[in-house]
Structure 1
Amino acid sequence: MSDDELMQRLRRELVDGYDEELEMELEDRNVDEIAGMALDSNDYKEERQRYFRELFRLQGELVKLQDWVVSSGHKMVIIFEGRDSAGKGGAIKRITQRLNPRVARVAALPAPNNRERTQWYFQRYVSHLPAAGEMVLFDRSWYNRAGVEHVMGFCTDSEYEEFFRSVPEFERMLVRSGIQVIKYWFSISDEQQELRFLSRIHDPLKQWKLSPMDLESRRQWEAYTQAKEVMLDRTHIPEAPWWVVPADDKKKARLNCIAHLLSKVNYTEVERPSITLPPRLRHEHYRRHQVPGEIIVPQVY
């Protein structure tokens, strides 16, 4: 293979990697169409170019942050809360997209089972906390009790009050143990949530995202607003403050969240040793065996 051919193949490989983000971008297009945005307008194209340029730059900084977390043994918990369809999952995807999943783990716990309901409330979350050199991103967290559990009646009033007594001490204990706790609330308007729910209803690839609980949360908008206000007021502590991300614009919310996250860690770039690809060992008598045709996946594409 010539040097030119090698560089061409390397460029294609890089483009394929960046296409992952373009595939994710398709998820947002239905909302733009419903809103009447002309996808082929010059303003829209320029806005997308700026978005991707900034996203790739910030993701490069996230890789530096990851390297520093590993080398320093830092421990991080990043909590993502917000209404259904607020964009928490999309932000988490963009944060972890270029990172090592062994370093940056996502914890998205299902509803507690019968056994877990009898445990200390925080117990099932503790096993997901980071060790040295790890970042854990909670896609919803122990704050379920302050939101969905309270609004939907899944906890008693006494359990609800006990949560507010316990959570500040729980988080202070995490911080004292050396875990940095960063908490984000993704905030969207009533109108924007309605738009995103309609997008999911009309998109067969997204309908699975709408559960009966999601639809009920839409009906209970005001109750969730009141629960959120109480939660922010009673759990905003100096050791682990809340940060509110305006999220009506998904792209800006992602960029702003990542930029803020990077600003909350005093990381430095870790120098990596130069890497040289070693030559492959070749043996004169080695012969590769033919793979049986019946076990090869059909080449439909």
Structure 2
Amino acid sequence: MTDRDNRHNRNHRNHRNAPTDTPDANDELLRRLRADLIDGYDEELELEIEDRTAEDVLAGEDAVRGDEVREARLRYFRELFRLQAELVELQDWVAHTGQKVVILFEGRDAAGKGGAIKRITQRLNPRVCRTVALPAPNSRERTQWYFQRYVPHLPAAGEMVLFDRSWYNRAGVERVMDFCSDEDVEEFFRSVPEFERMLVRSGIKLIKYWFSITDDEQHLRFLSRIHDPLKQWKLSPMDLESRRRWEDYTKAKEAMLERTHIPEAPWWVVQAVDKKRARLNCIHHLLEQFDYHDVEHAPVVLPERVRNAEYIRQPVPAEMYVPEVY
């Protein structure tokens, strides 16, 4: 057994410290935590699977977990890759026709926004489709017009921009954590519909997603992050405080959806308790928002390499090579 296996076993034993009422509830919690850990490692499997078939990669992978689980994962991978192929076609159409696309991803901490964004951008050209995840505003930005720091990241023709959290921070975390005044929030609610209408009138396609999870599911995902050393970096003091203020976030979310759901840029709620279903449903819905089509490309022909008799390849010093540990 490796050191990594020993660490994970200790982590699973630590899960028993989570509050439960009965032995059966404790067993269920452990089962769900293990399932969540496996889901996290599936993210890496999706990257490895690119050059092989799903059947090859998963052969033996799920032998101890049963055929039903294996088939469910295979179906997920097949559908994900099919949708990602459609995303590539959408990307080509956006670049070819000069579309300008903005997609906002909002939701509670650990709702799965980042996982969905990763699956959308995974096969796309970062020069066409890019992600924006801004840090907390600095002292200068806090004195600017609120939307000012977001404007430079808006797309030019032929670009798609995905915001991992957006200007709606003011209606959520800033409001709940008292980082702004009630007057600031009210001004935001007055301004944001007009700001978004301006974007739409300028030719930007604006799509807004809210990833919705339950109280119980967020509790589970936070526990998973606490006990998995590969995920602990995802937890910040702000995340932990947001857990305590669940009800305040709920009230803020409800006000946000009510006051900023406009015909020009409506909100779309993604049921995100099941991460894999949420990813597939979000991508499927995103594709349906565009009347895109396949863009014809000239055939790609690999030219013959020019070979010169006098060319001599210079040797690379041995000390410059990365050691081949694997």
TM over 0.5: yes
Task: Tell me the matched-pair count.
Answer: 272
Give the one of 257, 264, 279 matched to 1:239. 264
- In the alignment, the residues of structure 2 paired with residue 100 and residue 196 of structure 1 have an alpha-carbon distance, to the nearest angstrom, of 31
Aligned to 1:90, which of 96, 109, 115?
A: 115
Q: Distance in 2 between matches of 1:244 and 1:197?
A: 22
1:53 equivalent in alignment to 2:53? no
The question of whether the paired residues in 2 share the 8 Å contact of 1:74 and 1:134 is answered with yes
Deviation, structure 1 residue 44: 1.0
- What secondary structure, in the 3-state scheme, does the structure 1 residue paired with 2:77 have? helix
* CA-CA distance at 1:236 after TM superposition: 0.1
Q: For the residues of structure 2 that align with 1:230 and 1:202, how far apart are their CA atoms? A: 34
- CA gap of 1:227–1:39, structure 2 versus 1, over 3 A, is farther
1:188 alignment counterpart? 213
Identical-residue share of aligned pairs (%) = 74
Tell me: CA distance 1:187–1:23, structure 2 relative to 1, closer, same or farther (3 Å).
farther
Q: Distance in 2 between matches of 1:203 and 1:85?
A: 14
The equivalent residue for 1:203 is: 228
Mark the CA change 1:278 to 1:19 in structure 2 (over 3 Å): closer, same or farther.
Answer: farther
For residues 15-72 of structure 1, the C-alpha deviation after alignment (integer angstroms, 9 at most, x for no partner) is xxx9762569xxxxxxxxxxxx997122111110000000000000000000000000
CA distance in 1, matches of 2:73, 2:306: 46
Cα offset, 1:218, TM superposition: 0.5
Q: Kindly tell me: are residues 245 and 39 of structure 1, through their superposed partners in 2, closer, same or farther at Cα, counting changes over 3 Å? A: farther
Cα shift at 1:160: 0.5
Provide TM-score, normalisation by structure 2.
0.81
Question: What does residue 124 of structure 2 align with?
Answer: 99
Q: Which SS does the other structure have where 1:170 is aligned?
A: helix
Query: Which residues of 2 match residues 15-34 of structure 1 at below 5 A?
Result: 21-22=46-47
Match in the other structure for 2:170: 145
CA distance in 2, matches of 1:23, 1:284: 40
- SS at 2:153's partner residue? coil
CA drift at 1:295: 1.2
Q: 2:150 aligns to what SS in structure 1?
A: helix
Say whether 1:78 aligns with 2:112.
no
Q: 1:206 to 1:19 in 2, by over 3 A?
A: closer
Q: 2:141: which partner in 1?
A: 116
Query: Following the alignment from structure 2 to structure 1, what is the Cα–Cα distance between the partners of residues 238 and 178?
Result: 12
Matched, 1:170 2:195: yes
CA shift, 1:272, in A, is 1.5
In 2, the alpha carbon distance for the partners of 1:44 and 1:85 equals 24
CA contact (8 A) 1:38 1:44 kept: no
Decide which of 274, 277, 284 is 1:249's aligned counterpart. Answer: 274
Does residue 229 (structure 1) correspond to residue 254 (structure 2)? The answer is yes
- Secondary structure of the residue aligned to 1:273 is coil
Gaps (5+ residues) in structure 1? 1-17, 25-36
Q: Deviations over 1:214-242 (max 9, x none)?
A: 00000100000000000000000000000
| C-alpha contact (below 8 Å) 1:232/1:242 kept by paired residues | yes
SS of alignment partner, residue 207 of structure 2 = strand
Aligned-pair Cα RMSD in Å = 1.6
CA separation of 1:43 and 1:150: change in aligned 2, threshold 3 A: same
User: Which runs of 5 or more residues in structure 2 are unaligned?
Assistant: 1-42, 50-61
**1:28 — aligned with what?**
none
Relative distance call for 1:118 and 1:266 in structure 2 (3 A) is: same
Matching of residue 295 in structure 1 with residue 320 in structure 2: yes
Deviations 1:63-93 (A, max 9, x none): 0000000000000000000000000000000
Q: Distance in 2 between matches of 1:23 and 1:113?
A: 38
Which residue of 53, 64, 67 corresponds with 1:42? 67
CA distance in 2, matches of 1:289, 1:101: 34
Aligned counterpart, 1:6: none
Q: Give the Cα separation in 2 of the matches to 1:260 and 1:58.
A: 10
Q: Among 135, 152, 155, which residue is 1:127 paired with?
A: 152
TM-score, with structure 1 as normaliser: 0.88
